[in-house]
Amino acid sequence: MSKTKIAVFASGTGSNYDAVIEAAKSGVLDAEVALLVSDKPNAKVVEKAKQNQTPTFIFDPKNYDGKDAFEADIVEKLQEKEIEWVILAGYMRLIGDTLLKPFEGRIINIHPSLLPAFPGLDAIGQAFDAGVKVSGVTIHYVDEGMDTGKIIAQEAVQVEDDMTREDLQKAIQKVEHRLYPETIQQIISRGE
C-alpha cells in the first residue's frame, strides 16, 4: 500500500518541515512529504527541501495577478503530485477559496498559542507581552478565517517567570515538533 502523500507549506526556516520529514523517515509518520510549497524563494526551508530531495514549488506572489492566480497554480501542482493532505508549517498567508475548496477538510495548520487566544502573526510575542502564565500549541483545520478552523489538538506550555521571549519560543517549538507529526499521523490513520 502506498504512503499518504502530503505537501508542506512553509515561508521561513522550516523547523516544522524538519520535524515532519524526520517523523516520516523514522516511521512515526506513515506519509511521504511529496511536495514543499513556499512563497519565499530565499527561505531557509527551500534549501532544506533540496537537501532532503523533496520536490518543491516555489513562487513569488508578486509575479501573479493576485491570490486566485497563484493558488490555481498551487492546486495544479498538488493534483499533479496526488497530494492528499496540505500541512501548513509557518506558511504566512491566509488560504483563499481557490485552494480551500478542492482541499476542504484536508488542510491543517499549527499555531503557537492556545487558540482562540492570540491568533495571527507573532502569537508568541502577543502572549509574552500579555504576561500570560500558560501559552501553548494548537493544531487546527484551516478555514477562510485567521486561525479560526476547528481545533484538532492543543498542548499547554507553562510560561515561567524568568523566561525570555526566546525561551518561550524554544519551549513552544519543542512541543510543536513532537505534537505536529503525531497529530498528522492520527488524522491520516483515521482516514478523515
Please list the active-site residues: 111
Decide if 8 contacts 85 (C-beta within 8 A).
no
| Residues 6+ positions from 154 with CB-CB distance below 8 Å | 114, 115, 136, 137, 138, 139
Q: Where are the alpha helices (DSSP H) in the chain?
A: 15-26, 44-51, 67-80, 97-100, 123-130, 165-190
User: Rounded to an integer, what distance in angstroms lies between the CA atom of residue 155 and that of residue 11?
Assistant: 24
> In degrees to the nearest 10, what's the CA dihedral of 26, 27, 33, 38?
-50
Q: Name the one residue in this structure whose C-alpha cell is 498551487.
A: 74
